[in-house]
Amino acid sequence: MAEQSKAESTEQPGKRPILPFLKLEPTPHLVGSKCGKCGAVYLDLKRMACSKCGATNQFTQIPLSNKGNVWVFSVIHQSFPGIKTPYVTAIVDLPEGVSVKSNLVDIDPEELQKNPQQAFGMPVEMVANVVSKDRQGNEVVAFQYRPSKN
């Protein structure tokens, strides 16, 4: 078996993605696992078998689009201490056929609740931001979606 290189070696020093399927280089983007037999795409990078066609160990990692459309959303009014509310959480459909759960930013939660129809299907784009620091002093980068500019 070939020796595996350290997963961290390709990441920008001092910055760390909050989830394994968020990559920071060359620009922040998500990656998925694509089934080599039927083309189904999953966010799970350690997937062994395809739930659509049953093929095993035929996955390759592919970059996912930074643009998608809101499928459903929810305005959150109560959260953990220190988390500012209200905020909007959503499931975003990507063109590759993957759905991603994340937060919507640059959007007014109260306005959205008054007029929820505007959100369904809304084109959005991914943004990556530093959200905290870990114990090693690395900046932790998370991703959200905001209404698409075009």
| Residue 38 or 131 with smaller CB distance to Zn ion | 38
| Residue 58 or 138 with smaller CB distance to Zn ion | 58
Q: Which residues bind Zn ion (CB under 5 A)?
A: 35, 37-38, 40, 50, 52-53, 55
Give me the least distance between CB of 3 and Zn ion, in Å please.
29
| Residue 53 or 130 with smaller CB distance to Zn ion | 53
Q: Which residues contact 101 (CB under 8 A, 6 or more apart)?
A: 89, 90, 91, 92
Give me the least distance between CB of 51 and Zn ion, in Å please.
8
Q: What is the DSSP letter of 6?
A: P
> In 3D, which of 116, 112, 128, 106 has the Cα closest to residue 26?
128
Residue 107 CB neighbour total at 10 angstroms? 21
How far is the C-alpha of 62 from the C-alpha of 42, rounded, in Å?
A: 10
| Residue 29 or 37 with smaller CB distance to Zn ion | 37
Give me the least distance between CB of 19 and Zn ion, in Å please.
23
Q: Are 25 and 11 in contact (CB under 8 A)?
A: yes
